[in-house]
Structure 1
């Protein structure tokens, strides 16, 4: 069964090769991956140095326009020139596909010096794509009656992703009824006689069990199947059966189950299955389609670009513009660890010697020992990573077909190729397109102790600007992840972005208030502080701005869904001038520990409840928030509001489409500015005649 429907086609149209004036990257009009947005770039001053690269570039020479270099050689030339600190350095990338089989690593020596900048940019009219994938060709008919084709892959090659004409294709899967299986401490008992065939399947240890719960999407690998007994692989099964929203005791009564990744499950169009031992990949195209006519891409790397130095020598003054980044796959969930999601992509792995023997029964809705795990959770890696870095810019790039998260900024060290996490400052992410991403589009900040209480002040993530980005079709593999996640960050600005076709939109904060000054009485009751510190100082989460964003067409994959969501105290944070419509779940969701937040002048159409403050539990810290002068069409859920000092002030309930003019100004100005719009964006100029008189060209 297909896990999710993908009807939108993403095409990548490339035109010509670069033609730039000698010694200049003059007026490069960057057409972003055929998505229809262009930007003019000023030519560098005469003293600045320009180099050239192309997909078939040489591994020697000075990277001149007539004799361009490979990316790797150009990087070495740039390092030598940048070290002189005499001007900006620009690398102009010709049109075409740059296929790499190992990450591009940018360290301190790759950045600008003495206030100068190193730029990697597309040539005029070019659409260079840096990809970790290889094109799969040589398709042969495997099963004519079932319309299944096969192609050769390198022996031993594993992947969790396949991209077909720019769209993530689903792995072969079959859906289950909850009554089909009984879950046990070691695996499952098959109840449905129709599933007896599972015991006869080959490669049983490649099959995975997927569970979609209240707010988690979990994967557990199978070890073996004998008769009606399925034995699951450890430690993934133990880890997936204790904590919260577990596979056997989800907070959602009607959770969804699948078996994934067997050739026998390949029965729906566009599904696929890879057999590493045989070196074969099987694909079932739509009726009447020959895979030879498709661009089928097989990712080969986990990390595409790694940008990171050290706290003593961070990477600085580096810019990427007009490029496409694609083609990664994360194999961690294919191991014995599985994917044990806990909260918005944070996951646990490894063996816990303090896990109780009866955890399957007595820790499926939390227990004291489980609380001990919280400060050791992991983050999903990203295709493009930034840490220990300052003054890094991503302008008008396209991130697509990444089986990891797309862009990770200042994440924990376990999610970074360099092994050095956090420490990201003055990062600008403007006018980019994110689409067909396996996990988060943008993941900013860490979740471990050094993220919220840095042992070195240089670890603090601060001054991150995420503006005018288009984010669509995200979390296609790990569906519990989000469009924009910003955890423990000081002065994050998330402004004028458009987010659609995903389960979660904008999530800020982390930690349920447990790391805030004075801790959380709720987690004191749960036993958390038996194992973890109780801090008397505030975290680094503060002074953030979430403004002017357009959020629409949010899927109802999870019951516990918030569209603009926060965890933990965030003093000085403002949520304003955002427009939400056609969304599932809560509009503004202030979850445990949310404190010191002002939400004003937001428009929430067809959202019920338009606001929820999780203040049910005594002492969980969801206090001192103000929701003022918002327009909405639904009710509010604010338990214990007066007791917690959560205030509703002058908010307006609107009937039907009778929005006042001030609300229309917010609605028409929300989302990306016109110069950054693509075919993925809503055209608000034509949404309603009232928008035609509203200027929507400035960001807050």
Structure 2
């Protein structure tokens, strides 16, 4: 067995116990050694936070060989944290009357999540009564004069409407507001308003919110202005964010394990005792929005719709049913596809703005573009908590997921055992704790799932 050593402050190329290297150098060293392995290669990670500027990508070059594994593991007693976030410091009091603090972040930084002292803080939001607006094909008409101030707000195209329905959770971004007319971005608006349990006509529930504007800030909420590079937080009375750990996710994935193709998969890689934290997912705030269809599947493009879909397609219709083979899947912070003999043991997936662990999802849900093809993947004794989406999603929903054109696309022999899922689907409330779709031989056993919406 060969052991390499890395630390969050590591440097150089020795990767030794006395001179640990960085994560990137450890990966380069593994690649120079794993072509003809005679035993396992272990990369031992010291405790600390490893802040990524880009996702860690594991492909064929990172795989074990000769029946041996490459094992990325925590040092004894240590908790290495793989983070896609920035710790926010330098807070100043921006508005003393409302106790709003501000901090600078790099211009262009965007995120849908903020974590304070290890818990997600809510975005700026206010409730919207359904009677206050009338749904139209282009957006909404304001009926309540108390909302007329919306037309004077800046950055209107960052405002979103959310509707928490019976089994769906919809997010649709605003395009502009003029007088009493709210024009919504397309195709998000059309997609959110046809099918089943729609934004316009929920089967039950249907609590609506206006979100993501500085003017909506309530105590304990935050707002990010990417153009100005400013993060705002309305602190509770007597509370100063400078005395707390504030983490702003920046990356949309942390780890990507994928071969060059399903016929040439990545393989024999293990992750043990590692904490994966701080990622976000930006699609729901784009013109695509989150036109949720259940459990993390959503409309990811424009579709042909009936011209009168607000009346004719509120409990399904022929054109709606024709879309099912082309729905998108919410992505994961840790992605595994076109891969075999990959394991996660004793890891923690927390403070993630999307799905925690995605195994063999469709190609549209993985950054590598090579979807499905997950074989002999194990997740055992892991913890998933404080995540915006599902803990684990296995499999895809498109045609190749259930009728693969290449047998190597088949997701098979997936084992999920003794995992703790506690407090996930916090933002995307339609998602399940654990979802498995089209899989040949899945063992999902002795997992504890609690505190879901």
Taking structure 1 as the reference length, what is the TM-score of the superposition?
0.64
Measured after TM superposition, the shift of residue 460 of structure 1 is 0.9
* Structure 1: unaligned runs, 5 residues or longer: 1-47, 504-700
For residues 237 and 349 of structure 2, the distance between their equivalents in structure 1, rounded to whole angstroms, comes to: 30
* Structure 1 counterpart SS, 2:364: helix
Q: Pick one of 132, 145, 148 that aligns with 1:193.
A: 145
* Structure 2 counterpart SS, 1:57: coil
Residue of structure 1 equivalent to 2:278? 327
For residues 117 and 53 of structure 2, the distance between their equivalents in structure 1, rounded to whole angstroms, comes to: 21
Deviations 1:62-83 (A, max 9, x none): 3111111110110011111111
Whether the aligned pair in 1 keeps the contact of 2:36 and 2:66 (CA below 8 Å) is no
* Structure 2 counterpart SS, 1:69: coil
Q: Does 1:487 align with 2:440?
A: no
Residue of structure 2 equivalent to 1:208? 160
Q: Within 5 A, what are the aligned runs for 1:364-403?
A: 364-403=314-353
For residues 446 and 321 of structure 2, the distance between their equivalents in structure 1, rounded to whole angstroms, comes to: 37
Higher strand share: 2
Residue of structure 2 equivalent to 1:66? 18
Whether the aligned pair in 2 keeps the contact of 1:62 and 1:77 (CA below 8 Å) is no
Q: Does 1:101 align with 2:53?
A: yes
For residues 129 and 53 of structure 1, the distance between their equivalents in structure 2, rounded to whole angstroms, comes to: 12
Whether the aligned pair in 2 keeps the contact of 1:215 and 1:480 (CA below 8 Å) is yes
For residues 108 and 35 of structure 2, the distance between their equivalents in structure 1, rounded to whole angstroms, comes to: 42
Measured after TM superposition, the shift of residue 327 of structure 1 is 1.0
Whether the aligned pair in 2 keeps the contact of 1:104 and 1:306 (CA below 8 Å) is yes
For residues 302 and 334 of structure 2, the distance between their equivalents in structure 1, rounded to whole angstroms, comes to: 29
Residue of structure 2 equivalent to 1:57? 10
Q: Does 1:452 align with 2:452?
A: no
* Structure 1 counterpart SS, 2:122: coil
Measured after TM superposition, the shift of residue 360 of structure 1 is 2.1
Whether the aligned pair in 2 keeps the contact of 1:405 and 1:440 (CA below 8 Å) is yes
* Cα 1:62–1:83 shift into 2, 3 Å: farther
Deviations 1:102-151 (A, max 9, x none): 01000012111111011000111111101000100000011112111010
Q: Pick one of 170, 182, 189 that aligns with 1:230.
A: 182
For residues 158 and 61 of structure 1, the distance between their equivalents in structure 2, rounded to whole angstroms, comes to: 34
Q: Does 1:136 align with 2:136?
A: no
Residue of structure 1 equivalent to 2:306? 356
* Structure 2 counterpart SS, 1:188: strand
Measured after TM superposition, the shift of residue 203 of structure 1 is 1.1
Residue of structure 2 equivalent to 1:122? 74
Residue of structure 1 equivalent to 2:289? 338
Residue of structure 2 equivalent to 1:600? none
Deviations 1:128-187 (A, max 9, x none): 101000100000011112111010111121111111111111100000111111111111
Q: Does 1:147 align with 2:99?
A: yes
For residues 240 and 203 of structure 2, the distance between their equivalents in structure 1, rounded to whole angstroms, comes to: 44
* Structure 1 counterpart SS, 2:37: coil
Q: Pick one of 419, 425, 428 that aligns with 1:475.
A: 425
Residue of structure 1 equivalent to 2:236? 286
For residues 138 and 112 of structure 2, the distance between their equivalents in structure 1, rounded to whole angstroms, comes to: 25
For residues 272 and 122 of structure 1, the distance between their equivalents in structure 2, rounded to whole angstroms, comes to: 34
Residue of structure 1 equivalent to 2:267? 316
Residue of structure 2 equivalent to 1:441? 391
Residue of structure 2 equivalent to 1:634? none
* Structure 2 counterpart SS, 1:316: strand
Shift >6 Å, 4+ stretches: none
RMSD: 1.0
Whether the aligned pair in 2 keeps the contact of 1:304 and 1:384 (CA below 8 Å) is yes
For residues 57 and 422 of structure 1, the distance between their equivalents in structure 2, rounded to whole angstroms, comes to: 35
* Structure 2: unaligned runs, 5 residues or longer: none
Q: Does 1:251 align with 2:251?
A: no
* Structure 1 counterpart SS, 2:146: helix
Q: Does 1:90 align with 2:35?
A: no
Q: Does 1:157 align with 2:101?
A: no
Whether the aligned pair in 2 keeps the contact of 1:469 and 1:497 (CA below 8 Å) is yes
Measured after TM superposition, the shift of residue 286 of structure 1 is 2.4
For residues 488 and 245 of structure 1, the distance between their equivalents in structure 2, rounded to whole angstroms, comes to: 24
Whether the aligned pair in 1 keeps the contact of 2:362 and 2:396 (CA below 8 Å) is yes
Deviations 1:395-452 (A, max 9, x none): 0011111101110000001111111111111111011110111111000011011111
- The number of residues matched between the two structures is 452
Q: Within 5 A, what are the aligned runs for 1:528-547?
A: none
Measured after TM superposition, the shift of residue 470 of structure 1 is 0.8
* Structure 2 counterpart SS, 1:477: coil
For CA contacts below 8 A with separation 6 or more, give which structure has more relative contact order: 2
For residues 226 and 405 of structure 2, the distance between their equivalents in structure 1, rounded to whole angstroms, comes to: 44
Deviations 1:3-54 (A, max 9, x none): xxxxxxxxxxxxxxxxxxxxxxxxxxxxxxxxxxxxxxxxxxxxx1000000
Q: Does 1:276 align with 2:226?
A: yes
For residues 56 and 295 of structure 2, the distance between their equivalents in structure 1, rounded to whole angstroms, comes to: 28
For residues 54 and 158 of structure 1, the distance between their equivalents in structure 2, rounded to whole angstroms, comes to: 28
Taking structure 2 as the reference length, what is the TM-score of the superposition?
0.98
Whether the aligned pair in 2 keeps the contact of 1:249 and 1:365 (CA below 8 Å) is no
Residue of structure 1 equivalent to 2:213? 262
